[in-house]
Amino acid sequence: METIQRGNVTVHYSGDSRHIAERLVEITEKTYPVLKTYFNAAHDLKLVIYWADRQDWSAVPPNRHRTRYGGPHMTQGENHTHYVILPAANVDRPDSLVAVIAPLLDLTELTPDETRNLKVWLGLGADAGDRRLGDYLASSDFYVDLLVDIIHVHEVMHDFCYEFGIPENHSRAGKGIAWWVFEGLAQWSVLWVNREIGKEDWADAHDLLYRWMYRTGRKRPGNLGPLQYKDYAWFHGAVIEMAHQLEARYGKDYGPKVLTLILRDIQGKDYLPDTEMVKLFSEAAGEDLGAWFKQNWGIE
């Protein structure tokens, strides 16, 4: 693997991927100031990124959650070093990502306005044909864009959570915050970051893409409830649908308000039940959202 290093960011990459490594450094450097504001952090993280193909996957730092090739994840090292592991989709496209993208090839799940808007947001032009949109969503270019501009930002948010006191442990294990909150805030933060760095079109595309996943995923067998999905990817889509509805009611600054309240409330605690989460979401909204969360998302 080849390596580039700038400041606190190091990228190890497979194949002819230096241009992607440069993009990863750039998006990381733009993401840090936004997340530092939300976390009230005084320092950047020391981050090591792996853009690894199947052949190099065994060389990435081990993680109990992701053993097969293609599972993006983050893990921690010594001395506050954080690792983001991403599959080199331009070199060797992983089956796991193919499965995530497959439902997005069914344009019947989109309204005509959504289809037109998505073409504009993705830079294809409003007059582009549906076939061109489908071809892009099935291309390596889209897989790379998804990993660099969405999934990587999601993982960096996880890095900040680990560094500044938001535990991963799921409430089902008796500690931490609910999984939907831990993962949902990371996915939701992708919207905040892209808006802050001037990529409003990509933020809007991300919002629609993940809500599209939610529409297709909720019909799949094995789903237990609005926030309990058999497939990990569609779980994220459900939380983005929740975020979309809340932002439609309370504005685009609602998400950072919720994050600030959670960061304040988590101090000195090792467990926040869903009831406490609903209180914090309600506080940010300025009204009681208990009935709304119970009716729409089965949380009470």
Q: Longest C-alpha distance within the chain, in Å?
A: 54
Work out the percent of the chain whose per-residue pLDDT is above 90. Answer: 50
DSSP secondary structure letters along 245-284: HHHHHH-TTHHHHHHHHHHHHHTT-SEE-HHHHHHHHHHH
The predicted structure's pLDDT at residue 268? 66
Q: Exposed (0-12), middle (13-18) or buried (19+): which is 40, by Cβ within 10 Å? A: exposed
Distance CA(37)–CA(253), nearest Å, equals 13
Tens of pLDDT, residues 168-220:
654 445 555 667 777 888 898 999 999 999 999 999 999 999 898 888 777 77
Residue 3 parent element (H or E): strand 2-6
The residue among 269 and 149 whose pLDDT is bigger is: 149
Considering Cα of 189, then 216, then 96, then 26, what sign does the dihedral take?
negative
The residue among 238 and 67 whose pLDDT is bigger is: 238
Distance CA(222)–CA(32), nearest Å, equals 38
Q: Is the pLDDT of residue 1 over 70?
A: yes
Average pLDDT over residues 59-83: 79
Instruction: Report the range of poorest mean pLDDT among 14-23, 113-122, 162-171, 184-193.
Output: 162-171
Work out the percent of the chain whose per-residue pLDDT is above 70. Answer: 88
Residue 85 parent element (H or E): strand 81-87
Q: Is the pLDDT of residue 14 over 90?
A: yes
The residue among 171 and 67 whose pLDDT is bigger is: 67
SS3 label, residue 212 = helix
The predicted structure's pLDDT at residue 191? 92
Model-level pTM?
A: 0.91
Residue 191 parent element (H or E): helix 179-196
Average pLDDT over residues 89-96: 87
The residue among 105 and 40 whose pLDDT is bigger is: 40
> Band of the pLDDT at 129, cuts 50, 70, 90?
very high
Average pLDDT over residues 76-93: 88
The residue among 247 and 299 whose pLDDT is bigger is: 247
As a three-state string, the secondary structure of 101-128 is HHHHHCHHHCCHHHHHHHHHHCCCCCCC
> Band of the pLDDT at 66, cuts 50, 70, 90?
low
Kindly state the tokens that stand for 121: 């947001």
Query: Over the chain, what is the mean pLDDT?
Result: 86
Tens of pLDDT, residues 243-272:
999 999 999 899 889 888 887 777 666 667
Residue 15 parent element (H or E): none
> Band of the pLDDT at 43, cuts 50, 70, 90?
confident
The predicted structure's pLDDT at residue 249? 95
